[in-house]
Amino acid sequence: MGRLFGTDGVRGLANRFPLDGNTAYKIAQLATKQLMLNHKKQGRPVFIAKDTRKSGDLLEHAVAAGVASMGAEARLLGVVPTPAVAYITRELQGLGGVMISASHNPFADNGIKIFGADGYKISDAIEEAIEKELIANNRIEMPTGADVGTINIDDSSITFWLNSLARIAGENVGARKLKIALDCANGAIARWAPKFFSDLGYSVDAIGVAPNGTNINDRVGSTFINAILDVMKKEHFDVGFSFDGDADRVIAVSSDGDIIDGDFILAITAKFLKDREKLPGNALVTTVMANLGLDLAMRNHDIKVFKTRVGDRFVLEEMQKTQAIVGGEQSGHIILAEHATTGDGLLTACNLLRIMRETGASIKELSGVMSKLPQVLVNIRVKSKNFDAVPEIVDIIRDTEKRLSGRGRVLVRPSGTEDLVRVMAEGPDEGEIKGLVESIAKTISCHLC
């Protein structure tokens, strides 16, 4: 069957294996079993949430039934962001948490992300144990009678998460109130972000706030940045924030339309903390996809940059290893370890507003901490992601690396969540690297599509 769990949980086309109701039920059963084995205190609930996809209801009910069938309480949070599940699970002493979401993927997809009692995504070992039992399809011992679990609605715990973020963002006070634009991707943050910032005194204009079950990430959100750029062209905003479907990532935009992606956000945050002697080890963690400009900028500020494979779980592992408190990805998936156990788009936005408020600088001025080298990224949808098994593809990648040696770099990698091969190159000449990427992409298409 292949590996069930990818870099960010189980993901695929909803109502098809492994995101059909029966398999989701079994995954929830086995996950609950593992969570119980790994936690001494029983009687704790499993918090379950979803984003705005139409298939979320189907999977939510299947997961809740699986949890209850193992004797645990399933608490349904409804539509809330992924980071809220992680925070609530940890702060309100849950047995675990489950987020039903495919993040930035199209609405027809869905996914299952599982958190342990500590608010961190479950380990590889637990994922492997779940997958092994699912393949074996052995009979599961389930409780009966009074020991059967329950399913309850929980529409109040979300306030714990929002209140914690409000303390970081701070109230918008002063002679001139900041005006912010939001793109909520018709996703999990749509109900929460506009009111959250309005209650803090910010002037807010928002799009992507009318989810209908099929329009999540549809020409809105952090993977379609033009939507918020169009909003910000119409009138003056101090800053814009564009979230993805489950709001674990965010991209910022300046009043002039400059895109402040994860690389800039990491640089801004690390420098701010180092200037205040609050950056342990003077280090940050990012992935191999980060722009070389980030490395150069951080070197100028005597901040070490640790690199990992793409995926927030790898970033988090390296952060724990190096004791770094700032890490993330170019996509806007930022982990601020002092406040959260996973990427949190709303937390990241709050952090940037705090930095703007305390420094008195605009987001454009703050982004001047680094300059990007031209970067070209192409995604090729493929039938097989094993590009390194094709000699012609290996040869053209090697030739490209030689051409860019000492001037730039090329990176070809399979997506961890979709049937894509990603080709990225950086260098001083955008025209040159565009041509090089197109040549590699054409070769991949010829052999793997």
Average pLDDT for 90-97:
96
Dihedral pair phi/psi, residue 246, rounded to 5°: -110, 10
CA distance 422 to 377: 7
Q: Amino acid letter at 342?
A: T
Predicted confidence band of residue 289 (pLDDT cuts 50, 70, 90): confident
Predicted confidence band of residue 2 (pLDDT cuts 50, 70, 90): low
Answer left, alpha or beta for residue 365, where phi above 0 means left and psi between -120 and 50 means alpha. Answer: alpha
High-pLDDT (> 90) share of the chain, %: 86
Q: Amino acid letter at 158?
A: I
Using one digit for the tens of pLDDT, what is the confidence trace for 180-205? 999 999 999 999 999 999 999 999 99
Active-site residue (options: 55, 69, 101, 103): 103
**Where are the chain's structural domains?**
10-156, 160-258, 260-346, 375-448
Q: Nearest-5° angle of CA 66, CA 68, CA 73?
A: 130
119-128, 169-178, 243-252, 256-265: the lowest-pLDDT one: 169-178
Average pLDDT for 80-106:
97
Q: Which CATH class is domain 160-258?
A: alpha beta
Task: Quickly count: other Cβ atoms within 10 Å of residue 426's Cβ.
Answer: 23
406 exposure class (CB count in 10 Å sphere: 0-12, 13-18, 19+)? exposed
- Write b or e for each residue in 140-170: b if 16 or more Cβ atoms lie within 10 A of its Cβ, otherwise e: eeeeeeeeebeeeebeebbeebbebbbebbe
User: What superfamily would CATH give domain 10-156?
Assistant: Alpha-D-Glucose-1,6-Bisphosphate, subunit A, domain 3 (3.40.120.10)
Rg (CA), the chain: 22
CA distance 156 to 154: 6
- Write b or e for each residue in 19-35: b if 16 or more Cβ atoms lie within 10 A of its Cβ, otherwise e: bbbebbbbbbbbbbbbb
What pTM was computed for the model?
Answer: 0.89
Predicted confidence band of residue 291 (pLDDT cuts 50, 70, 90): very high
Q: In what order do the strands lie in the sheet with 250-254?
A: 203-207, 179-183, 239-243, 250-254, 259-260
pLDDT at 376: 92
pLDDT at 1 over 60: no
Using one digit for the tens of pLDDT, what is the confidence trace for 320-377? 999 999 999 999 999 999 999 999 999 999 999 999 999 999 999 999 999 998 989 9
**Long-range pairs, 400-407, Cβ under 8 A, ≥24:** 400/425, 400/436, 400/439, 400/440, 403/436, 404/433, 404/436
CA distance 408 to 395: 18
CA distance 332 to 369: 17
Which CATH number among 3.30.310.50, 3.40.50.720, 3.30.1360.20, 3.40.50.2300 corresponds to the domain 375-448? 3.30.310.50
pLDDT at 428: 87
Q: What's the topology of domain 260-346?
A: Alpha-D-Glucose-1,6-Bisphosphate; Chain A, domain 3 (3.40.120)
DSSP β-bridge partners for residue 179:
203
108-117, 153-162, 245-254, 286-295: the lowest-pLDDT one: 286-295
Q: Do domains 10-156 and 160-258 have the same CATH topology?
A: yes
Active site residue 69: no
Q: Nearest-5° angle of CA 287, CA 86, CA 288?
A: 5
User: Average pLDDT of the chain?
Assistant: 94
pLDDT at 39: 76
Answer left, alpha or beta for residue 195, where phi above 0 means left and psi between -120 and 50 means alpha. Answer: alpha
pLDDT at 173 over 70: no
